[in-house]
Amino acid sequence: MEIINYSQEHQQFRQRLQDFLQKQVIPYVDQWEEEKIIPKSVWREMGQAGFLCMDVAPDYGGLGGDFLYSAIVAEELTRTWHSGLAASLHSDIVVPYINSYGSAETKKKYLPGCVAGDIVTAVAMTEPDAGSDLAGMQTAAVEEGDEVVIDGSKTFISNGINADLVVVAARDPAVENPYNAISLYVVETKTPGFSRGRHLEKMGMWSQDTAELFFSKCRIPVANRLGAKGQGFLMLMEKLQQERLVCAMGAVAVAERVQEWITDHCRKTAVNGKALSKSQATRFALVEIATDVKLGRTFVDKLIMDHREKQNIIVETSMAKYWTTEMLNRVVNRSLDLCGDLGMLEKCPIVRAWRDAKIMTIYAGTNEIMKNIAAKFMGF
């Protein structure tokens, strides 16, 4: 019995997305990987086709759909065999901050562009000396009348080069308790005082633009603060459940693609006149891979339904984020071994999947942080 029952509307959405990706994305992936960036025109094409910010209300141009649409996008993007088009980051991690905490004026100003793909978003939390430790954040935000002055730097920011709008976490230096000092601000990248640093060269996820961001006396309207002053840490905690679930969804979907490919490869590839899949060692490896993937899918599908019903699953999503990303790395490592000589060549899709998988244990909070969060809520 399937845990998730997709409606006819969901299935039609999936088919339209598959058609779109087949025509507008897959033929260009290798070029984008070489260029180390996704053209912004692709974001607009995604938005115009209705594949961004599906949960945003129709009043702002969105579909007003449920979380299952996000699950479909996360799954189907993995069929493109690249990680550069970070639509899930935009739609399900960054824009929800604006959608949930922005004023009516802020939502009216930015959400239609986010839905249409005219505005690409990023979230800026990580700092050179803070990493996953939000309490160690140093970027300062000082409110002066009807303006906020932001000074500091962020690093490892996904969508950092393409971003038109950044949700920035910054602290009031006058407040001693770091958990009461953080606020979230929406910063347009054309604002004076904002600048981008290096387009960071990474081991994997080559076409995903990752950058340093700098703020030097960057002045924005105080109206660009999301929610109440000093509530940023609570907002981040509330939304990180979905961020970690999105990461787990992606990890399981990639593992499924890898399993499909390596199983087909082992069936079709012969050594000494005998298919690889007929070797006992290979068969055992394929069964172990399939078991890992099946366990991950079952766990994540249950969490998708729980999250859709607005249950508190902080512990479970922390567990899922660390387990599924480590599972994915087990799967790609074992699959690369099964590729033999082919695993040395860029034309082998498992090579790219192997490179891209490692970072998933680090971003959205390291897997060690995930275990600490689960342990804290479990009373350990």
User: Which residues are part of the catalytic machinery?
Assistant: 243
Q: What is the 3-state secondary structure (H, E, C) of 81-120?
A: CCCCCCHHHHHHHHHHHHHHHCCHHHHHHHHHHHHHCCCC
Pairwise CA distance, residues 188 & 36, whole Å: 23
Contact 17, 23 (CB under 8 A): no
For 215, 248, 320, 339, the CA distances from 280, given in Å and listed in that order, are: 58, 31, 31, 16
Residue 364: φ, ψ to 5°: 60, 25
Task: Spell out the SS3 assignment of 148-200.
Answer: EEEEEEEEEEECCCCCCEEEEEEECCCCCCHHHHEEEEEEECCCCCEEEEEEC
* Structure-block tokens of residue 375: 């342990």
Q: Residues 6 or more apart from 230 whose CB is under 8 A from it? A: 172, 175, 180, 181, 182, 183
What is d(CA 236, CA 181) in angstroms, rounded to the nearest whole number?
A: 13
CA–CA distance, 83 with 198 (Å, rounded to integer): 20
Helix (H, G, I), strand (E, B) or coil at 214: strand
Identity at 211, one-letter amino acid code = A
User: In angstroms, how far is the first alpha carbon of the chain from the final one?
Assistant: 35
